[in-house]
Amino acid sequence: MEQFEGKIAVVTGGGTGMGRELVRQLVAEGCHVAMCDVSEANMRETVSLCGDAGVRITTHVCDVSDEAQVNAFRDAVMAEHDTQHINLLFNNAGIGGGGEFVTGSREEWERTFAVCWYGVYYGCRAFMPLLVASDAGHVVNTSSVNGFWATLGPGVSHTAYAAAKFAVKGFTEALVTDLRLNAPHVQASVVMPGHIGTSIALNSAGILGRNSSLELSAEEVAVARKRMVARGLPVGNEPDDHIRQMLHQQALDFRDKAPTTAGQAATIILDGVRAGRWRILVGADAEHLDRKVREYPEEAYEASFLEKVWGAGHLQPITRGSDAT
């Protein structure tokens, strides 16, 4: 699919970040877009940023971890776009959280896994028949570098997100063969971004039941403090509100100080779709980490491995002296 003009695309998580930029760039190329998000306000802002592009853009409030809502989203897309097919499906929505399995909240773990894995699975289940009904289709599932490297460094638990992103990667790679056998006019790509300037750290708080890190409970602050002290940060005697403010600032820095912008990431993804690539690494840090994990697989979860990554100038903002979860 070398051009998107006149095609119909579905984008989950279109209200912010890479999802918003995918919508903007697709619309700019003459593609009709249906997006979903949990925030109607964010989607309205995405639409306003698209300007008067002369294509159909629809917004749909949908929690992708709920299969009934995803199916309702599909039905609304068919009705509002008056179509029995789509050409592009971007399963992009995701959140962070559920880092600790042994001592953490089961509810938060399962919520994170549900959005990041089942959101992709339900999206594919709902929209695959519409892709197959097209003359050319492409499904693009967003995994992560945490889909092949299950950590943010040896001082941080990162179990739910990594488990989900490994699942997305494995499923999509298997889907490549399944589609070649059963629907050869449909392609699949797995996207593995590194540190991208998105609001995932900020938005995840809302999905997990609070507006931001500023609303963390005393118990949650105690867990965060313990993690930060273990990583060498001198915060043992800091007031709880200082810890909350530090975590909130880290979420802002994750968005604002990333080496790759959301717009640049969207361009890389769409270029990969045009080129028909099934494996799309996003960012120099993702490319470097991919090489290093393959080169040093037994060392991947040791501090010495992270030193190699830092030595190449990658991932310091989210693995050195901070707590991005």
Which residues are annotated as catalytic? 161
Which residues lie below 8 Å from residue 209, measured CB to CB, with a gap of 6+? none
Measured distance CA(255)–CA(206) in Å, rounded: 16
Strand partners, 89: 10, 139
Measured distance CA(47)–CA(98) in Å, rounded: 31
Tokens 């070649």 appear where? 180
Written as six digits, the tokens of 37 are 């998000």
- CB 14 within 8 Å of CB 37: yes
Count of CB atoms situated within 10 Å of the CB of 147? 25
Q: What is the DSSP string of 45-71?
A: HHHHHH-S-SS-EEEEE--TT-HHHHH
Measured distance CA(189)–CA(138) in Å, rounded: 8
Which residues lie below 8 Å from residue 278, measured CB to CB, with a gap of 6+? 172, 173, 176, 187, 188, 189, 190
- CB 278 within 8 Å of CB 143: no
Written as six digits, the tokens of 178 are 């399944």
Measured distance CA(47)–CA(68) in Å, rounded: 25
φ and ψ at residue 271, rounded to 5 degrees = -65, -40
- CB 283 within 8 Å of CB 265: yes
